[in-house]
Structure 1
């Protein structure tokens, strides 16, 4: 099937964020490599669209359903086995990645080989937790009706049960980092040493699919200063709330299991969703660290070859390999891709890509299918209705956000956390109950509707909107 035909066939799942072909191609390879873990070619293809530093990832909903069914059939023991393999693989890769700290001193040929190995390692690592993407459609569209039928409860009650039971058993990596900063802000002695250690451990936390944003001691000091503006008692309360997450989550789940007499089959499903939620969170931390090394290598390749750091990110991996080996790639070719880049990878690792005007038209045609549809998703956090001013944020470096606005985005990412803490509520086009927005919104106790698919395309900053947290519908107010 051609790329054009795939984008026209419908029944597609989309996720998007600021990004470039380099990160998109690693992502595509990881999607296809998951087939080796599943034992079948269930992920048949994936499309990556990029225009002006913005990326869309597009997969088939039917394929997502097939992957979920395979994972559900294999059960929790398989998921735990995959997690153990992933952890072991991570440890092996750490030593390889440490070599890249001295990449400036490497001969071009050596760095080219390191880059090639890195892409293999990164897509291999990513291929394990990316299996959890198979849960997206199920947790957005099917889990609530299933719980409602199994427990004989209404859909609102079923939603609250599903949300609570799918919470990760451990606090998110972002809350772990936040807790560390809260504790540092309370220190009277050993402050500098603690802050230095924090910066070394979390320098990667603001990275994304578009660029690396290395955080230093000075950056974290600025965050500590903001925390210290709050009363000490409030900081202590926040720290205690994060500290007690595990106990609170476990207690809530135990109460639900007892109250609703949840049977073995449904409980096993909930345990899988819980572990998938945890793995999705830890995957994000892994990705951000990988991006640090990826962008460092691309910057080095650009420096050696005389390429703009933004343009080099539009090079195909084979071209970066060539550049590091002393060969040239035309700047005009990379510029053309920045205007529009459409790429597809199939289950046999066959590539197809289009650039420039043709790709731009293809992207425009695809995005046009998302306009004018009802804005409806699934409530991940909160009850009742809430109204407020919408603020569309796709790239936090470009889009402004006012405290107290309703944050509307394609999907939240780690760098969104400061905005999420200021938001009145959150609307995200992508994700199910186990997605980043859902997990963080529940931790922050912020109303949240996810999986709306079309909110970004149909709303604009300044719109007054009402979120119905009972039905998942969002409407524009006159």
Structure 2
């Protein structure tokens, strides 16, 4: 923030540097996608894995600044807004004002995908035979009878958005069948497609109009406006960053899958190691006992010491001792407090989602509770009446998507996944940043 104040062009310079590194990421991903991984030797696979890892590492080494800006800029902006509005940050009116100012200027990649899918649906809905096919036939019959032109549109859509359900650990890319199934479900729900597209496209115009109107009404000064612009820019940068990070991890895992076969090491075991730990010599003489310990449970402890970072992995007895200390210092509160990411209130049954498999248990009206959300959480987020997370700031994934879905959302509670369990009845008062356990 000091550099930003001293040099207004600093943020643009960082973005330019980031763009160059991200371009290397996409070129490396293209190389992986164009390679026949099964035919590569051990040495070739390892070199490609390292190349993908280095591209990924270098890109996030610059873009990690988004977390710092988000966590520093948010309280700074709130302090300035308190002075301008003469309201306390816990006041309902203050939170409403803050929420309007923090709305995104443009759609996230998840919203873009939804809008583009709706446009394909428009073409289908305009053809009576196609519409009847999707509304009346089975998924198998739809796939068999699908016209070449629609098949081509769906395939192109998949190529553009294959990463939408990925996460930072694993995940399968979306297929044509996934999208045919989604289109079938939406067409059967009889939604007004053109109206939905218009609503989605005009949403961001309305966001900008409301924000600009509020800036004028409150007579927000230039310095505060610059800070607000920075936060919004970081919000969108964080979304772009998530896209190339997810794609990087996915393609690293494609290579790792082949490495697993070539070196006869279980894939899930390899995933318990950081890429920089996996040297060629370590793979050649892999310690499977250590791998088995990590697969049971492990925790990574990182601590800055002068200009270096101390890195330790705890397994077995050390893991248990570490967690005992952690839980000893954990204090359960009756009310859970966090930050309002999206306004509203909801009453619902808690569903704690720690893994992708947990998402299937979320029913319509449930309160989704997670450490943080990722793109594959979106279908469950759409069903949920509210979203609560342990982590995150105003530019995090949960905050962005909750505002787009118009769902009440409380972020940064720190303890929600520990304090709540499946079946708990809670009231989410997002405007106040409170989650209250009813029973």
Which category describes the TM-score, using the shorter chain as reference length? 0.7 to 0.9
CA 1:76/1:106 → structure 2, altered by over 3 Å: closer, same or farther? Answer: farther
What displacement does 1:452 show?
1.1
Matched, 1:446 2:407: yes
CA RMSD of aligned residues (A): 2.2
Q: 1:278 aligns with which of 233, 236, 239?
A: 236
Are 2:144 and 1:183 aligned? no
Q: Does 1:163 align with 2:102?
A: no
Structure 2: tracts of 5 or more residues without a match: 125-146
Q: Judging changes above 3 Å, is the alpha-carbon distance between structure 1 residues 330 and 433 closer, same or farther for their aligned structure 2 residues?
A: same
Q: Which has the larger radius of gyration?
A: 2
- Paired residue for 1:393, among 348, 353, 364? 353
- DSSP-derived class of the 2:372 partner: coil
1:131 and 1:253 map into 2 onto residues whose CA distance is 25
**Aligned residue pair count:** 407
Q: Is the 8 A contact 1:407 1:426 kept in 2?
A: yes
Q: 1:158 to 1:438 in 2, by over 3 A?
A: same
Going from structure 1 to structure 2, the CA distance change for 1:301 and 1:364 (only over 3 Å counts) comes to farther
Q: Which of 28, 31, 48 is the aligned partner of 1:96?
A: 28
Q: 2:284 aligns with which of 306, 314, 327?
A: 327
Write the deviation string for residues 36-91 of structure 1: whole angstroms up to 9, x where unpaired: xxxxxxxxxxxxxxxxxxxxxxxxxxxxxxxxx44653565322222222222222
1:157–1:144 distance in 2 versus 1, CA, 3 Å: farther
What TM-score does the superposition give when structure 1 sets the normalisation length?
A: 0.79
Of residues 133, 138, 146, the one that matches 2:80 is 146
What is the match of residue 82 of structure 1? 14
Q: Distance in 2 between matches of 1:80 and 1:168?
A: 19
User: 1:194 is paired with a residue of what secondary structure?
Assistant: helix
Structure 2 residue aligned with 1:251: 209
Q: Which of structures 1 and 2 has the larger relative contact order (alpha carbons within 8 angstroms, sep 6+)?
A: 1
Distance in structure 2 (CA, Å) of the matches to 1:318 and 1:138: 30
Aligned equivalents of 1:258, 1:319: Cα separation in 2: 54
- 1:275-334 Cα offsets, whole Å, 9 max, x none, are 0111111111111111111111111111101111111112343553326x8612021111
Deviation at 1:397, TM superposition (A): 1.1
Alpha-carbon distance, 1:245 to partner:
3.1
Preserved contact between residue 408 and residue 426 of structure 1 (Cα < 8 Å): yes
Residues 72 and 471 (structure 1), Cα distance of their counterparts in 2 relative to 1, 3 Å cut: farther
Question: What stretches of structure 1 of length at least 5 have no aligned partner?
Answer: 1-68
Q: If the length of structure 2 is used for normalisation, what is the TM-score?
A: 0.86
